[in-house]
Copies of this chain bind each other. A is one copy, B any other.
Amino acid sequence: RLPLSVIAGPCQLESRDHALFLAERLLVACQKARVGFVFKASFDKANRTSTHGKRGPGMEAGLEMLSSVKAELGVPVLTDVHLPNQCPPVAEVADALQIPAFLCRQTDLLLAAAATDRPVNVKKGQFLAPWDMQNVVEKLVVEGNSQILLTERGTSFGYNTLVTDMRALPQLAELGCPVIMDATHAVQMPGGQGRASGGQREFAPVLARAAVAVGVAGVFVEAHQDPDNAPSDGPNMIPIDDMGSLLSDLAALDAVAKARSFPETCS
């Protein structure tokens, strides 16, 4: 059983320099904590709460920024796709493709992502039970791709609130895929600020710790040097200066978890 991997980055790409700056900070923190690192950032926020939110640099410019991160730091990069025709060009740069939660049942998008032969990380829809992801996995497998990651990012719980059911982690693991806990999206308060989603940044470490103790392959966190002024997801992102301490905590818990091979999460 491999030690923890961390998928981390800003919510959206802002500039080449910003991507490199954050990626390097995160790489150093992950190396210090001895956890794996994959850089994640979005070139387009295609489902912003409102049209008042910034969407990002677009696919072409975004892929160039991700290329720079790969080339200069040698770290794998992951980004999300929103339309089937984005999958082939994205797969030329990204080491892994991600399917957003709202889109996790869009068959054509899943098939196009699977067809790239890149690993595909699917976020479980806020409207799905863990076991419903079996059908999502099958949509990828029928296209011949079995490099599948499944990410928990919270489930609808009344209005403007998500809850993370820790039972979902072993239930997803039972589908035979590595499981990731997305600790920062899971503390979103969807639509909670009227024209933007709110968030409870202070609880992201809580969910991350809980998930690592349950037993997961990785943790997904969005981080930023100035979350309050980030173009998206600010309320739930972790300040980059707090990442070292968080990763150290998670690595210590992961060491206990992996040494004991908890039966519920041994897929």
Contact = CB atoms under 8 A, between A and B. Distances in A.
Interface of A: 46-51, 55, 82-84, 102-103, 105-108, 125-129, 131-132, 134-135, 138-139, 142, 155-161, 163-167, 169-170, 187, 190-191, 194-195, 200, 202-203, 205-207, 209-215, 249, 252-253, 256-257, 260, 262, 264
28 contacts: A47-B105, A48-B107, A49-B135, A51-B135, A51-B139, A102-B103, A102-B105, A102-B106, A103-B106, A126-B127, A126-B156, A127-B156, A132-B191, A135-B195, A155-B159, A155-B163, A158-B158, A163-B163, A166-B166, A205-B262, A209-B213, A209-B214, A209-B257, A209-B262, A210-B210, A249-B256, A249-B262, A253-B253
Contacts of A165: 157, 163-164
Contacts of A155: 156, 159, 163
A203 B167 contact: yes
B205 A264 contact: yes
Report the 8 A-B pairs with minimum CB-CB distance, sorted nearest first: A158-B158, A213-B213, A210-B210, A129-B159, A156-B156, A50-B135, A132-B191, A47-B105
- Copies of this chain, whole number: 4
Contact of A107 (B47, B103, B131, B187): B47
A55 B55 CA distance: 31
B50 A167 contact: no
A132 B191 CA distance: 6
A131 B191 contact: yes
Contacts of A202: 264
A76 to B, nearest CB: 27
A246 to B, nearest CB: 10
Nearest to A135: B50
Contacts of A51: 107, 135, 138-139, 142
